[in-house]
């Protein structure tokens, strides 16, 4: 059975998240149903990183095994035809070795969190940013973020229901920048804990608003206590924007 790597883009707003759920349509189900309609066979896809309800992706990666070989552009275009009108699109498809695994083969994942920092509420991006009406200092947020880079016990920034075996993670990048009215937080690591990026973002917002000091952020990390985390940022501003693999573009 040929294996395909697919790059998927989606607006997470109308979905229950990536993974199959009993309470509504997931992104996974939408893509699987679309592939099944054009191939005539039920399939199961496997993703690089599950996203929660309301979280978006510009570069999610999945792999899927099909019963016959199709041209990659046919897989892309036929799947997209059957995905309409759902806000999901296959950006690229390629045949990969059977050893490729979208989750296990990944060496790094990249996220961005978008904060709209202005008094007026968002209109065009209402479900795609976190609106913070009070002024935030992006430079202070960036300074605090540097304390979180490296290998740490991220218990403070881990969801209570996180199923990871260990809270130890290595954060390779955590940069904060302001572009006009928007503040963007970029995070890169081999893997993340459940709600880690949103928890860190909510904590950095406290520092940017002047309610926490830079030292308070470091102390929260060192406490290894979920109760010391700032309020968790909403899912609307979070995007999976890239997944790196050792031998694939």
Active site residues per annotation: 52
Tokens 């740490």 locate to 152
| DSSP bridge pairs for 65 | 3
Question: Under DSSP, is residue 85 helix (H, G, I), strand (E, B) or coil?
Answer: coil
Question: Under DSSP, is residue 87 helix (H, G, I), strand (E, B) or coil?
Answer: coil
Alpha helices per DSSP H over 185-237:
196-208, 214-223
Structural tokens at position 134: 């009070």
* E strands present in the chain: 3-10, 46-47, 56-65, 88-96, 108-117, 130-132, 150-153, 168-179, 182-189, 238-244
Nearest to 130 by CA among 139, 121, 142, 143: 121
Structural tokens at position 70: 């199709």
CA 21 to chain centroid: 18
Alpha helices per DSSP H over 41-195:
72-83, 138-145
* Alpha carbon distance 61, 223 (integer Å): 34
Contacts of 222 by beta carbon, 8 Å cutoff, 6+ apart? none
């Amino acid at each position: 059975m040929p294996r395909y790597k697919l790059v998927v883009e989606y607006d997470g707003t109308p979905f229950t998240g990536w993974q199959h759920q009993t309470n509504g349509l997931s992104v996974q189900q939408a893509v699987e149903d679309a592939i099944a309609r054009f191939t005539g066979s039920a399939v199961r896809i496997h993703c690089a990183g599950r996203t929660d309800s309301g979280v978006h992706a510009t570069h999610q990666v999945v792999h899927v095994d099909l019963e016959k070989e199709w041209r990659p552009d046919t897989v892309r275009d036929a799947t997209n035809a059957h995905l309409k009108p759902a806000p999901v699109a296959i950006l690229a498809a390629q045949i990969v070795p059977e050893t490729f695994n979208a989750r296990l083969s990944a060496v790094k994942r990249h996220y961005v969190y978008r904060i709209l920092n202005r008094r007026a509420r968002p209109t065009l991006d209402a479900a795609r940013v976190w609106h913070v009406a009070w002024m935030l200092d992006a430079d202070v947020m960036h300074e605090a973020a540097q304390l979180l880079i490296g290998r740490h016990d991220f218990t403070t920034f881990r969801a209570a229901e996180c199923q990871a075996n260990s809270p130890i993670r290595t954060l390779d990048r955590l940069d904060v920048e302001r572009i006009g009215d928007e503040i963007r937080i970029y995070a890169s690591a081999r893997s993340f804990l459940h709600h880690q990026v949103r928890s860190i973002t909510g904590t950095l917002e406290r520092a940017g608003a002047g309610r926490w000091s830079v030292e308070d952020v470091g102390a929260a990390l060192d406490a290894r206590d979920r109760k010391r985390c700032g309020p968790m940022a909403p899912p609307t501003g979070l995007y999976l924007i890239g997944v790196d693999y050792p031998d694939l573009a």
